Amino acid sequence: MVLLRTPPPHGGNIVDRVVRNPDRAKKMADGCVAFDIKPTLLDGVPIRNVYREIVSICYGFFSPVEGSMVRNEVERVLEERRLLSEWIFPYPLVFDVTEEDYKNLGVGEGDRLLLRLKGQPFAVLDIDEIYKIDPVDIATRTFGTPEKNPEVVRVPFDEKHPGYMIYRSLNPVVIAGKYTIINEPKFRDPYNKFWFPPAKCREEFKKKGWRTAIAHQTRNVPHVGHEALMKNAAYTGDIEPCNGILVNAIIGAKRRGDYPDEAILEGHSAVNRFGYIKPERHMVTFTLWDMRYGNPIESLLHGIIRQNMGCTHHMFGRDHAAVGEYYDMYATQILWRDGIPSFGFEAPPNEVDYGLKIIPQNMAEFWYCPKCGEMAYSQTCGHEKEKQKLSGSFIRGMVAEGIFPPNVIMRPEVYKAIVKWWKVYGYPFVNPKYLAEKDKTLEIDVPPMEVNLKR
Amino acid sequence: MVHYIGLLLDDVRFSAIKGTGLEEKLTTLFGGQIKSLVLEVPEELSKKILAEFPNARIDSRSYLEDLPVAFKRALFNEVVEKKTLGTEVIEAVFQKMDEIKELAAKESEYIPPPDIDTSEI
């Protein structure tokens, strides 16, 4: 049997566009026109901040993407889910500004734009192209339609879909080109404890002796059903189960009712700190990204991120990264089992040229079986009538009513992680106050940096 | 289609239903670790409830979830008072909807955290 090894990064190399030498960084910014990064708003509520894309690109999570895409690349991604270099990639990524901001900037192709964040120099954008977009067209083509993608799209996307609204709310002018971070951000607590960009994550795998690792996508505080999923999915591997389980939380703009990001990270961390899955086998990390909830499309991005981080396998459940009933509930599993031709995949994304190397592990659900007296896998347990499902909404209701969840539903230390951040924000879930606070503080601080701007 | 609302019982709520006859209607979940009373909600009533509370949703078990705490508290109080799990309990709660919605609005800003030690996290 062939033993699996850590796969190469998507595209061959991990992108590293971070300048760590301050003198060089200052020289790069000298004489630039500056622009303060603004969040994408919907009815005054932040739904995206492009700084998260800049960080994820420059630290290599989205390798081989290096910047805001040129027009032809956006078109290719929308039509075939491929970059101009042929490597597969699911989403258009652009730096968008208003017409007014574009006029005020007075920049053109070949110029370098300094991007400020929280009032400080943060990154530069070397401009290759400036062009206009139709945000409605981009939004529609990004997610698909029932007519064009009948295999998996069930109903047209509309204003209730948060990812669709991110694209629909883009500004009309795109400034395309490579980003370079010139002033490394400092992650705030507790994010700093979980910051493992791909190069560092791969080093950590080596230290831990992980030859194989399975990725777990999360945007939730873990209940015991998630724990059972992680433990059981990890039994895949090659000659032995996967050496490690990589939890990678997607951190970004939140929806009301979600758990705060801090509770998600520390809740997952409690699973290993308190030995439910020992830390030698379980690791918690995050990626900055304002989730698009694109189900099969999003799963491609997840595959790319986690392959870049060094994972050999990725678990995919029902309704992966989904909201509402826009996609077939098994759309992601269909993509990774058969492919979705209308999205450019005649075969699964790990079986096409310039595709991914990560191996999918499609999983069904876990429920509590009172007859077995344990969390049971739906495809194994023969007591369907007796099943008791763990629903996230059910647990949220329990939390809101101040009821300590029993150990069979949620580990006490995970619940305490929720309460810890509930004490900080006065609320167990994301609410308008949390969103406003998060928009102000973000996940990072940017150190002071003096540069000579263009006058 | 019938939907459901589950009222979870902690020790305080469990003592409130003693002697009402509702003890016999208790449902246990997760190996007996959770006790609850389950109300059946006809579709017409569940539509009315969903219309009142935009965050509420029906989960994969057909249970109405993400309901305001104020609504569930009022529901429990009516169950105890009327000693039944019938639809008249929900109808009675609808009579107090203005008051419940006022309380629910405050719930989106602040819910007091439980007084438990979280220093180990």
Each residue of A197-222: pLDDT tens digit?
Answer: 999 999 999 999 999 999 999 999 99
Name the E strands within chain B.
3-9, 27-29, 34-41, 57-58, 64-65
Above 90 in pLDDT, residue B109? no
Question: Among candidates A202, A283, A217, A222, which has minimal Cα distance to A250?
Answer: A217
pLDDT for A155-168, tens place per residue?
999 999 999 999 99
| Confidence grade of residue A365 (pLDDT, cut at 50, 70, 90) | very high
CA atoms within 13 A on the CB side of A53: 27
The pLDDT of A293-321, averaged and rounded, is 97
| Confidence grade of residue A25 (pLDDT, cut at 50, 70, 90) | very high
Cβ distance A209 to A244 under 8 Å? Answer: no
Tokens found for residue A406: 């029993």
Question: Among candidates B2, B5, B1, which has minimal Cα distance to B64?
Answer: B5
Query: What pLDDT, on the 0 to 100 scale, is given for residue A255?
Result: 87
Above 80 in pLDDT, residue B19? yes
Query: What pLDDT, on the 0 to 100 scale, is given for residue A455?
Result: 66
A396: nearest CB among B66, B113, B114: B66
pLDDT for A135-154, tens place per residue?
999 999 999 999 999 999 99
The pLDDT of A80-109, averaged and rounded, is 98
Architecture of domain A22-186 in CATH? Roll (3.10)
Q: Which residues of A touch B108 (CB under 8 A)?
A: 256, 431-432
pLDDT for A50-72, tens place per residue?
999 999 999 999 999 999 999 99
Above 90 in pLDDT, residue A385? yes
Distance of CA B21 to the CA centre of its chain: 19
Above 70 in pLDDT, residue B98? yes
Domain range summary for chain A, segments of one domain joined by +: 22-186, 191-439
Least confident range from A50-59, A248-257, A263-272: namely A248-257
Query: At residue A385, what is the residue type?
Result: K
For A70-76, which contacts have Cβ atoms below 8 Å and span 24 or more sequence positions? Answer: A70/A128, A70/A129, A70/A131, A70/A176, A70/A177, A71/A129, A71/A131, A71/A174, A71/A176, A73/A176, A74/A133, A74/A138, A74/A174
Q: What percent of chain A has pLDDT over 70?
A: 100
Q: What percent of chain B has pLDDT over 90?
A: 64
How close is the nearest chain A Cα to the Cα of B108, in Å?
Answer: 7
Q: What percent of chain A has pLDDT over 90?
A: 92
Q: Please tell me which residue of chain B has the smallest CA distance to A398.
A: B8
B118: nearest CB among A423, A427, A432: A423
Q: Please tell me which residue of chain A has the smallest CA distance to B65.
A: A393
Residue count of chain A: 455
Interface test with B, best of A394, A396, A422, A434 (most B CBs within 10 A): A394
* Cβ–Cβ below 8 Å for A393 and B31: no
Average pLDDT of chain A?
Answer: 96
Q: Kindly give, in sequence order, each residue whose CB lies less than 8 Å from that of residue A148, ignoring residues fewer than 6 positions away.
A: A342
Interface test with A, best of B12, B28, B117, B121 (most A CBs within 10 A): B121
Indicate the helix (H) or strand (E) that contains A164: helix A162-168
Query: What pLDDT, on the 0 to 100 scale, is given for residue B59?
Result: 84
Query: What pLDDT, on the 0 to 100 scale, is given for residue A13?
Result: 98
B121: nearest CB among A407, A417, A426: A417
Domain range summary for chain B, segments of one domain joined by +: 3-107
How far apart (Å, rounded) are the C-alpha atoms in residues A196 and A362? 25
Question: Among candidates A410, A386, A333, A362, which has minimal Cα distance to A151?
Answer: A333
How far apart (Å, rounded) are the C-alpha atoms in residues A96 and A170? 6
Higher pLDDT: A56 or A254? It is: A56
Above 70 in pLDDT, residue B50? yes
Query: At residue A267, what is the residue type?
Result: G
Tokens found for residue A222: 């873990």
Question: Among candidates A380, A355, A350, A352, which has minimal Cα distance to A365?
Answer: A380
This prediction's pTM: 0.93
Q: Kindly give, in sequence order, each residue whose CB lies less than 8 Å from that of residue A7, ignoring residues fewer than 6 positions away.
A: A307, A310, A311, A312, A357, A358
* Cβ–Cβ below 8 Å for A397 and B72: yes
| Confidence grade of residue B45 (pLDDT, cut at 50, 70, 90) | very high
Query: What pLDDT, on the 0 to 100 scale, is given for residue A397?
Result: 85
The pLDDT of A289-307, averaged and rounded, is 98
Q: Kindly give, in sequence order, each residue whose CB lies less than 8 Å from that of residue A276, ignoring residues fewer than 6 positions away.
A: A227, A411
| Confidence grade of residue B107 (pLDDT, cut at 50, 70, 90) | confident
Q: Which residues of B touch A427 (CB under 8 A)?
A: 109-111
The pLDDT of B40-45, averaged and rounded, is 94
Q: Kindly give, in sequence order, each residue whose CB lies less than 8 Å from that of residue A284, ignoring residues fewer than 6 positions away.
A: A194, A247, A249, A265, A268, A269, A272
Pick the CATH number of A191-439 from 3.40.309.10, 3.10.20.600, 3.40.50.620, 3.30.1360.120: 3.40.50.620
Q: Please tell me which residue of chain A has the smallest CA distance to B108.
A: A431
Q: Which residues of A touch B (CB under 8 A)?
A: 256-257, 266, 270, 368, 370, 373, 388-389, 391-394, 396-398, 400-404, 406-409, 413, 416-417, 419-420, 422-423, 426-428, 431-433
Q: How far is the CA of A316 from the CAs of A214, A219, A332, A398, in angstroms?
A: 11, 14, 7, 27
